[in-house]
Amino acid sequence: MALACNSGVRSLWCTLGLIWVTDPQLLCSLVRMSSPISMSGSHYRFFCESLKVTCISSQIIEPWRFTHLSASTSHLIAPHGGELIDLLAAPEKAAELKAHSREWPSWDLTARQICDLELLISGGFSPLRGFMTKADYEGVCHNMRLASGILWPMPITLDVTEEFARKLTPGSSKVALRDAEGVMLAVLHVEEVWQPDRAAEAKAVFNSTSKAHPGADYTINKSNPWYVGGRVEGLQAPSHYDFRTLRFTPAELRAEFVRLGWRRVVAFQTRNPMHRAHVELTFRAAKQVEANLLIHPVVGMTKPGDVDYYTRVRCYQLLSSKYPQGTQKLSLLPLAMRMGGPREAIWHALIRKNHGCTHLIVGRDHAGPGSDPETKKPFYGPYEAQETFKKHEADIGVTMVPFSMMVYLEEEDRYVPDDEVKKGDKVLNISGTELRDRLNEGRDIPAWFTYPEVVQELRRSFPPRAKQGVTIFFTGLSGSGKSTIANVLMTKFLEVGGRPVTLLDGDLVRKHLSSELGFSKEHRDINIRRIGYVASEITKNGGIAICAPIAPYDATRKHVRQMIETHGGFILVHIATTVEVCEQRDRKGLYAKARAGILKEFTGISDPYEVPADADVTINTGELSAEEAAQEIILHLEREGFIGVNRAGE
């Protein structure tokens, strides 16, 4: 097998006598002479006749591209479980698996499953070698221990539909795991298939079954009802085309630490943009333990509503100059967060341990999802994560660097932890909600809070609301007046100009987008989700989408709201016209047919309409004309800042 070593390869440590190979041709000769035991993507192990050579490569962007690094990383912290797992198959084995995959069932991975698979393959989840079997799963849920006894706080499971699960035979079935485009990433050797108690899992892992807790809600309401466990063999890592120079596998990051001469590394986990308080906190933490700093933000899945990672990474890149030269590094982590508070803090530490970090900053409410809107109480105590971490610190093997919330002392022009504030000190702080409000309204963001270059980057992604896209989503019974008001509203927007306007009327969408659908609950949900998707794309690109379906189901409306609010504004307008008035207006005779039983599953007669409790505007067309109703909506949009004067340039 011929391997091409580029001119950047200048060194290799050998395990016998620390032999230094400086000649690239000699290095290539050594590689060619060796017998490959495992030709994998993140580790290449070769055993020569007279000595053992270990070479760790960078992520393969070009075939067989090697980094300039050392093979001996014994002075770094050991991976969790003692071995950095690498699940990528050798090229010959990968080709063989791909050829046989025609005989196996395929599973299209969800976004979260792809994140989990990537960290399984690269060793970020060492010592795991695949998706958990039942014994590991139950041990983790109830005791934070794998069946082997090793500490592990978070279930890593492959959830599938019941229909798919029943096709599998434990012990013999293999599953081709594919991304959304059908690319085969790995094969799962099926060892166990079972139906878990997902509510019990959520309670055990997150201490919550609330829909307001992202981790619990996903487990109970969004994941599939059957789990498949077994060993994984990777064919290739998921493809990433963004920030490629910032994406390091555990092996690559460890090699980078060796190259830089770093022994003690403190990691900072974040899912938010960093401001002055974060820079001060991380600088203090690194200084306190005399360690180098790894900024290790999550770029997989975070809490719904978070700032997109593209914007965040551009902000992180602007901050490297704020630290002493040569003491800070930025690397991206493709993790799907669970927002699991105390357990997640331990999980974050183990992942960073696998990446070569010796310390982890654990702040206030680390990885917590905030408060439960029903009870008004936080899901976790402000320092519960720190307390839980401390109890297990010896088993974790990573030293916690605890920190309180940082606040700004105006008179002293500096940041301090809130537990160092003295009586009489004037403290300033801007919450995440206030920051979003200032961005939406185009108001000033003070220099004491963040850096001007970060503000500029945030404003690029989050312009004032008057420049954002917005969806006006009508809901109401047939004949309530939705389409008429929507048409009046569209005309008024077109009269003013400035943003493209699209009307997605229920009847028109049925004709052009959903002609194959019926009126069952399942088909109605599909229709509304299609409308929501189109509206989200219009909103994302700065336009105005006016949607006028019946949309009778609350859960589907909430899904559409969540889909759109990440890109811009969403205004839910409930046309609350009574069924009696709607029947009187019925020009098509639909209500009469429904009452006669000719039309089945007709909203308001034989199928329920769930009145929205979260409507932004409620209108009864029995009391208002179409033009008056449209004006009420325009006044609400003006109050919310989606139309009117843009103050950003003042």
**Residue 93 exposed, middle or buried by CB count within 10 Å (0-12, 13-18, 19+):** middle
* Same-domain check for residues 546 and 592: yes
* Same-domain check for residues 580 and 505: yes
Average pLDDT, the chain: 87
* Same-domain check for residues 63 and 209: no
**Residue partners of 198: CB distance under 8 A and separation at least 6:** 219, 220, 223, 225
What's the mean pLDDT in 493-515? Answer: 88
How many structural domains are present in the chain? 4
pLDDT of 521: 86
- The structure's pTM equals 0.81
Tell me how far apart the alpha carbons of residues 584 and 581 are, in angstroms, rounded to a whole number.
5
- Specify the higher pLDDT residue, 509 or 54: 509
* Same-domain check for residues 374 and 487: no
- Residue 539 inside a domain? The answer is yes
- Residue 449 inside a domain? The answer is no
* pLDDT band (50, 70, 90) for residue 165: very high
**Residue partners of 571: CB distance under 8 A and separation at least 6:** 470, 471, 472, 473, 616, 617, 633, 636, 637, 640, 642
Tell me how far apart the alpha carbons of residues 152 and 154 are, in angstroms, rounded to a whole number.
6
User: What does the block give as tokens for 260?
Assistant: 């830089």
Q: Of 29-38, 339-348, 521-530, 588-597, which range is least confident?
A: 29-38
Q: Select from 44, 72, 100 the last residue of a domain.
A: 72
| CATH code of residue 533 | 3.40.50.300
Q: Do 464 and 646 contact (CB within 8 A), yes or no? A: yes
pLDDT of 7: 30
What's the mean pLDDT in 93-112? Answer: 96
* Same-domain check for residues 626 and 552: yes
Q: Do 177 and 108 contact (CB within 8 A), yes or no? A: no
pLDDT of 72: 43
* Same-domain check for residues 629 and 517: yes
Residue 557 has pLDDT above 60, yes or no: yes
What's the mean pLDDT in 79-94? Answer: 96
Per-residue pLDDT of 238-257, as tens digits, reads 999 999 999 999 999 999 99
| CATH code of residue 164 | 3.10.400.10
* Same-domain check for residues 509 and 567: yes
pLDDT of 28: 38
| CATH code of residue 384 | 3.40.50.620
pLDDT of 193: 98
* Same-domain check for residues 64 and 101: no
**Residue partners of 583: CB distance under 8 A and separation at least 6:** 479, 591
Per mean pLDDT, which of 16-25, 197-206, 487-496 is the most reliable? 197-206
* Same-domain check for residues 3 and 125: no
- Specify the higher pLDDT residue, 190 or 590: 190
Peptide bond into 608 cis (omega under 30): no
Q: Of 36-40, 107-111, 157-161, 326-330, which range is least confident?
A: 36-40
- Residue 379 inside a domain? The answer is yes
Q: Of 405-409, 527-531, 588-592, 638-642, which range is least confident?
A: 588-592
Residue 45 has pLDDT above 50, yes or no: no
Q: Do 59 and 249 contact (CB within 8 A), yes or no? A: yes
* Same-domain check for residues 544 and 626: yes
Tell me how far apart the alpha carbons of residues 633 and 616 are, in angstroms, rounded to a whole number.
9
Tell me how far apart the alpha carbons of residues 640 and 650 are, in angstroms, rounded to a whole number.
19
Nearest to 129 by CA among 110, 112, 108, 150: 150
pLDDT of 75: 85
What is the DSSP-derived secondary structure letter of residue 301?
Answer: B
Nearest to 188 by CA among 90, 81, 113: 113
pLDDT of 432: 84
pLDDT of 597: 86
Residue 587 has pLDDT above 90, yes or no: no
Per-residue pLDDT of 623-633, as tens digits, reads 899 999 999 99
**Could you tell me whether strands 427-428 and 414-417 are parallel, antiparallel, or unpaired per DSSP bridges?**
unpaired
Tell me how far apart the alpha carbons of residues 84 and 58 are, in angstroms, rounded to a whole number.
15
- Residue 616 inside a domain? The answer is yes
* Residue 243 burial (CB count, 10 A): 17
Domain range for 253 is 247-333+339-408
pLDDT of 60: 34
- Residue 223 inside a domain? The answer is yes
Q: Of 47-51, 83-87, 242-246, 497-501, which range is least confident?
A: 47-51
- Residue 647 inside a domain? The answer is no
Residue 58 has pLDDT above 80, yes or no: no
- Residue 240 inside a domain? The answer is no
* pLDDT band (50, 70, 90) for residue 304: confident
Q: Select from 39, 72, 105 the last residue of a domain.
A: 72
3-class secondary structure, 625: coil
Residue 546 has pLDDT above 90, yes or no: yes
Residue 395 has pLDDT above 50, yes or no: yes
Residue 16 has pLDDT above 50, yes or no: no
Q: Which residues are catalytic, by number?
A: 270-272
* Same-domain check for residues 497 and 528: yes
Q: Select from 16, 40, 72 the last residue of a domain.
A: 72
- Residue 437 inside a domain? The answer is no
If you search the block for the tokens 């002479």, which residue do you land on?
33
What is the DSSP-derived secondary structure letter of residue 218?
Answer: I
- Specify the higher pLDDT residue, 607 or 185: 185
Residue 48 has pLDDT above 80, yes or no: no
Per-residue pLDDT of 255-282, as tens digits, reads 999 999 999 999 999 999 999 999 999 9
Residue 39 has pLDDT above 90, yes or no: no
* Same-domain check for residues 150 and 266: no
* pLDDT band (50, 70, 90) for residue 645: low
- Specify the higher pLDDT residue, 135 or 608: 135
